[in-house]
Structure 1
Amino acid sequence: MSIVSDSLIIYKREMLIFKSKLRTNLIRSLIFPLVLILMLGNLGANSDIITNIGVVNYASNPSAYNFVQSLQSNNDLNVEMLTTQQAALSALKAGQITDVVVISPSFPSLNTQNPGIYIYYANNFADLGNSVNIIESLAEQYESNIGKPIEYSSTSSPDQVVSDPAYAADASYRTFLVGGVIVMVAVFGSMFGGGMSIITDRQLGNLKSFLITPINKLSIILGKIMSGTTQALIYGVIAILIGLLDGATVAMGIAGVAIILVLIALTAVAFSAITIILASRISKIEVYSIIANAITLPLWFISGAFFPTSSLPSWLYPLSVIDPLTYSASGIRYIMMYGYYPINSAILDFSVLIAFSVVVLLLSFKLFSTTIGK
């Protein structure tokens, strides 16, 4: 039999096992994401911290990160990082901040029609000039223009001052959070697939039976990875539905959902392969669970699951740049919040995820062949 047909046999067997414990699997994998969405969905909408300026970073590139660091290090500014333009304008309206700096996705930009920075200010703020001068001076260092400051009165609504809704001004923190939760669901869904089933099969003696049958040994890995990826996609669809029911949005619509599923699949393939690597060296489920969580949870947190990566401490931000989950979350949020997916960002995100998947897949084949399948 070919490796494809052998893999499909293993895949069907894994999915039948998944189906037999469907309720338990769904509860185990979705209860935490559900709690996060319902409990933390409104976290970014309000802030009790009084600050001088609120900064919303929609660029999330190294230049934007460095610009934010420059703002934060300026002694004349007290900076509060906010997730969305809507949350920032609400805080401005409530008097919690004195003006808002929005770093657009085009940052840095010298184009006067599409500047890299937008500023909104309260009409009762007498010292706007000082803040604008500081921000303008710093922006010049990064070769970026700022748009003409827009006055925001206490009776204004966000719709009256938003210059470009493509900057996610109408998105909420709930949508931002759902994007991170979808990534988590993909990772944890694959964790409970391939690697854990290998350990279970080894303990029950099923794995030995597979190895002595005349099938391609790599089909065992492929079948289990396919199963883990399918389970992650199922969990991802449910997480999206929960988010939508709770008020999140997918700005790109159905086409955006399709791209999100592709990003979930790539992420799940990579982490299913990682679970195979762990299972090749670990024989106890308890040890496997501890190590798997110790690897995946930090990666998830520094990917910007709760807040933009630009808000991370300076020593932690470089780690987010090499974290593959950062690129999954970035792509999903472009689709859900901005309504478009810039081609440069899409190429970067998919290139990183594909390259990462290929590397860990090859490593999983190697370790499985030398430790279990020999």
Structure 2
Amino acid sequence: MTSKNYSNFRATMAIAKASLRSTMRSPSAVVFTLAFPLIFIVVFANVGGAGVSVDVAVAKNSDTTNAVYQALKKNPMIRLVKGLSNEDITKNLAKGSLDASIELKPQQPMKPIGLTVQYSKASTKGEILKSTLNNIFYKIQSSVYEKINSFSGMKIPDVIDLKETTITGRKHLYIDFILPGQLGFSLLSTGVFGTAFVFLNLRQNLVIKRFFATPVKGYSIIGGEMLARIIFGLAGALIIILTGHYLFGFTLIHGFVTVLNMLVLSIIGLLIFMGFGFTVSGIAKNESSIPPLANIITLPQFLLSGTFFSTSAFPAWLRSLSDVLPLTHLNNAMRKVAFEGAGLGDVTHQLLILLLWGIAAYAVAIKIFKWE
């Protein structure tokens, strides 16, 4: 058969099939893509997000000088969120991204503190705030009692005028937060570590050089390996999503359509993360140099991109860093699609950031990638 009649499409499929078979036999690939994420899902789903702070929005024009606000501010379990409009507060309460909101009326002499609390039915942490407020009220009431105790027969005035309401919404389980993060963990591991190790091995073992002695084109080699990574990554993503849904109640708001949207996001994430993998394989001199190089890319994202815990608890400067990372935007897009019912057209901001990262990653990879 001459090179003119040679089918590079068939070559690409053959390379993809061989690479996929090799990947499935690799213990490290299976561990990072599937085993670790599933273990983390089981652990975090059962601990229920212990230690996560209660996010409480503070309505605009609230009195931040009174005793209730100051006590909440000092409580390490309560994270006060300021600057949101009433519309945004209601919207976030309905979807469970806020646990509650408070509105404190300006305090007037000899009158109780006016406090309106809205709880989110979608959150499981409203009781924590309710218990905290009861303790604060008791301390304030006791303080007032001590001041007027010497005046026998005097009626103790109410110190709090409390109004409570609940904003309805779907119950937000911790699995709805943790699973998209673990899916991102899986995709980033597959894209970076899998790609870097495979292409370095192919180059060192002169497999690519032998390919060039055949009619196989360079794009067939890369295309076949990328296709194998995508198939393997998608299989892992599907297992993670279905395991989370059927065993732990992970929310798929539109069912099958939501699964498809999450798989499309998985493909996009994989393609971009493979760009980092190509970059690492181009820099690495040998196999032992891949883990430290890959960890420079992956470890900050695992820790700072909302993979294991919410970035809302970070200080402002660290949140700014988190908002730059590509995995942050993939995780956020996954959560919007799964729990909020967003379509791909509703996460264009996240997709744009991912696209910019992809362009940068492949620009660097093309410049430093080596065939031999």
Asked if TM exceeds 0.5, the reply is yes
> Does 2:327 correspond to 1:355?
no
- Unaligned residue ranges in structure 2 (runs of 5+): 1-5, 59-63, 107-114, 121-125, 131-163
Aligned 1:248-327 pairs, distance under 5 A: 248-327=250-329
Query: What is the root-mean-square deviation of aligned Cα atoms in Å?
Result: 4.0
The amino acid that maps onto 1:218 is Y
Match of 2:141 in 1: none
The worse-fitting range, judged by mean Cα deviation, of 30-39 and 262-271 is 30-39
Deviation at 1:37, TM superposition (A): 1.2
Q: In structure 2, how many angstroms separate the alpha carbons of the residues matched to 1:278 and 1:112?
A: 42
Match of 1:38 in 2: 42
Deviation at 1:236, TM superposition (A): 1.0
Task: State the SS of the aligned residue for 2:104.
Answer: helix
Change (3 A) 1:5 1:265: same
Match of 1:242 in 2: 243
Q: In structure 2, how many angstroms separate the alpha carbons of the residues matched to 1:112 and 1:10?
A: 50
Change (3 A) 1:5 1:314: same
Task: State the SS of the aligned residue for 2:179.
Answer: helix
Q: Encode CA deviations 1:14-62: one digit per residue, 9 max, x unaligned.
A: 123234x17774345322212211112244455599xxxx3158xxxxx
Task: State the SS of the aligned residue for 1:41.
Answer: helix
Match of 1:132 in 2: 104
- Unaligned residue ranges in structure 1 (runs of 5+): 58-63, 65-69, 83-96, 123-127, 135-146
Equivalent of residue 33 in structure 2, options 29, 33, 46: 29
Match of 1:174 in 2: 175
The amino acid that maps onto 2:268 is L
The answer (yes or no) to whether the contact 2:55–2:99 under 8 Å persists in 1 is no
Match of 2:117 in 1: 149
The answer (yes or no) to whether the contact 1:187–1:232 under 8 Å persists in 2 is no
The amino acid that maps onto 1:16 is R
Task: State the SS of the aligned residue for 2:167.
Answer: coil
Change (3 A) 1:28 1:271: closer
Q: In structure 2, how many angstroms separate the alpha carbons of the residues matched to 1:310 and 1:203?
A: 44
Aligned 1:109-124 pairs, distance under 5 A: 109=85, 111=87
Change (3 A) 1:252 1:309: farther
The answer (yes or no) to whether the contact 2:119–2:166 under 8 Å persists in 1 is no
Q: In structure 2, how many angstroms separate the alpha carbons of the residues matched to 1:56 and 1:254?
A: 33
The answer (yes or no) to whether the contact 1:45–1:172 under 8 Å persists in 2 is no
Match of 1:144 in 2: none
The answer (yes or no) to whether the contact 1:277–1:367 under 8 Å persists in 2 is yes
Q: How many residues align?
A: 307
Q: In structure 2, how many angstroms separate the alpha carbons of the residues matched to 1:187 and 1:77?
A: 38
Change (3 A) 1:113 1:248: closer
Match of 1:372 in 2: 371
Task: State the SS of the aligned residue for 1:215.
Answer: coil
Match of 2:72 in 1: 77
Q: In structure 2, how many angstroms separate the alpha carbons of the residues matched to 1:336 and 1:151?
A: 23
Match of 1:187 in 2: 188
Task: State the SS of the aligned residue for 2:347.
Answer: helix
Change (3 A) 1:216 1:177: same
Q: Encode CA deviations 1:139-167: one digit per residue, 9 max, x unaligned.
A: xxxxxxxx96348998xx9xx964231xx
Q: In structure 1, how many angstroms separate the alpha carbons of the residues matched to 2:228 and 2:28?
A: 17
The answer (yes or no) to whether the contact 1:229–1:272 under 8 Å persists in 2 is no
> Does 2:17 correspond to 1:18?
no
Change (3 A) 1:350 1:3: farther
The answer (yes or no) to whether the contact 1:55–1:80 under 8 Å persists in 2 is no
Q: In structure 2, how many angstroms separate the alpha carbons of the residues matched to 1:121 and 1:267?
A: 33
Query: Highest CA radius of gyration, 1 or 2?
Result: 2
Task: State the SS of the aligned residue for 2:30.
Answer: helix
